[in-house]
Structure 1
Amino acid sequence: MKSLIVVDCQYDFIDGTLACENAENAVNSIIKYINSNDIKVHYSKDWHSIHNGSFKDNGGVWPVHCVQGERGARLHEDFYKHVEKDVKRPKEDNVFYKGIDDEVEEYSAYNAENSQKLSLKDALEDEVIVAGIASEYCVRETVLELLEAGHMVEILKDGLGYVDSEDHLKNLQDLMERGVRII
């Protein structure tokens, strides 16, 4: 069985302060893929305090986003409503949090932890499919760490949101050249 990592499909990246192109379509494509494949599903979430160092207000480069407990940090509700099998819906054991340390910029979901302190990297199968938001940032960094750790990686192309379409396409080309299969 393969693992699917659904990277940061949270409202701030869909319709909020860092809304990405194709984000809503990506969510729909990911749900269709989940419902039609026998895979183990993991979700990552950016999970920041209001004091996070990556925020412009605190000297960083990003607008305030994915603040713990706020709407922008929630996963898209369709994952709860439209994923058919309960075991594949977001829940305590398959949601992994990253960006908790205010001083560390953490794009990759690879070291994210669930509420029981299990790291995502320890929950994955050898073959991993990655989808989510944003292609050029958190998805890319997650894929690079997976490759470095020796995983076989595929990217669900229709399941990606992105900041800039040109950079997104360059990113996909680069990842293909590194051995990632685009599906």
Structure 2
Amino acid sequence: MRAHQLDYGPRDALLVVDMQNDFCEGGALAVAGGNALVAGINAEIAAAHRAGALVVATRDWHPVDHVSFAHRGGPWPVHCVQDTEGAAFHPDLRLPAATIRVSKATAFDADAYSGFDGTGLAGYLRDRGIGRVIVCGLALDVCVRATVLDARREGFDTVLLESLSAAVDPDSMAACRREFADAGAEVRP
């Protein structure tokens, strides 16, 4: 298990992206190594919570016939359908009761990869005085990537915890790191 490397404070928000059953091994759209991230993410959640930081957990929350699904012409198999076991957070993920849960991609006709896309999250974080966003979860080259880039676009200092994130395509990591650097996001190993 990885010990946390950050000192959290009340102006920080830890964004745990899409740690859902369908994105972990055994799920409909599994990312290799997803299950192995849970213990380290739990350590980050505990550290953030103890320090008074905000903990936010995003989730795909698709209607049954979502536009991103292959049978509708989208790129993905059916996954994270609302109120199914696949859409549930990983059973070992320890989210405090005060965790803000953010559902994305809830409309039939629009996909959303970022936790900021159509959710009102940026305004909520600003209203709470958040200045820094720390991001981890699944999948690094899809929803984590989009969330990191949108956090920067929204003006937040942004840190990616790379060792607590896994990519669908590990070969995409170098390109993701370049994008993050170009956007001004910090990448922690």
TM-score range, shorter chain: 0.7 to 0.9
Contact 2:62 2:80 in 1 (8 A): yes
The reply to whether residue 179 of structure 1 matches residue 164 of structure 2 is no
TM-score (norm 2): 0.83
The alpha-carbon deviation at position 34 of structure 1 amounts to 1.6
User: Taking CA–CA contacts closer than 8 Å with sequence separation of 6 or more, which of the two structures ends up with the larger relative contact order?
Assistant: 1
Aligned length: 170
| Runs of at least 5 residues in structure 2 that lack an aligned partner in the other structure | 1-9
1:16-66 Cα shifts (integer Å, max 9, x gaps): 111002211222211111222322100001001111011011121100000
Q: Which residue of 1 aligns with 2:112?
A: 106
Q: 1:31 to 1:169 in 2, by over 3 A?
A: farther
The reply to whether residue 58 of structure 1 matches residue 72 of structure 2 is yes
Q: Which residue of 1 aligns with 2:4?
A: none
The reply to whether residue 34 of structure 1 matches residue 34 of structure 2 is no
Which one-letter code corresponds to 1:98 in the other structure? Answer: K
Q: 1:64 to 1:107 in 2, by over 3 A?
A: same
Note the 1:155-174 alignment, pairs <5 A: 155-174=160-179
Find the residue that maps to 1:163 and give its secondary structure.
coil
Q: Quote the Cα distance in structure 1 between the aligned partners of 2:56 and 2:71.
A: 31
Q: Which residue of 2 aligns with 1:4?
A: 14
Detail structure 1 runs of 4+ shifted over 6 Å in the superposition: none
| Runs of at least 5 residues in structure 1 that lack an aligned partner in the other structure | 114-118
The alpha-carbon deviation at position 112 of structure 1 amounts to 5.2
The reply to whether residue 120 of structure 1 matches residue 125 of structure 2 is no
Q: Quote the Cα distance in structure 2 between the aligned partners of 1:9 and 1:66.
A: 11
TM-score (norm 1): 0.86
Q: Which sits farther off after the overlay, 32-41 or 54-63?
A: 32-41
The alpha-carbon deviation at position 174 of structure 1 amounts to 2.5
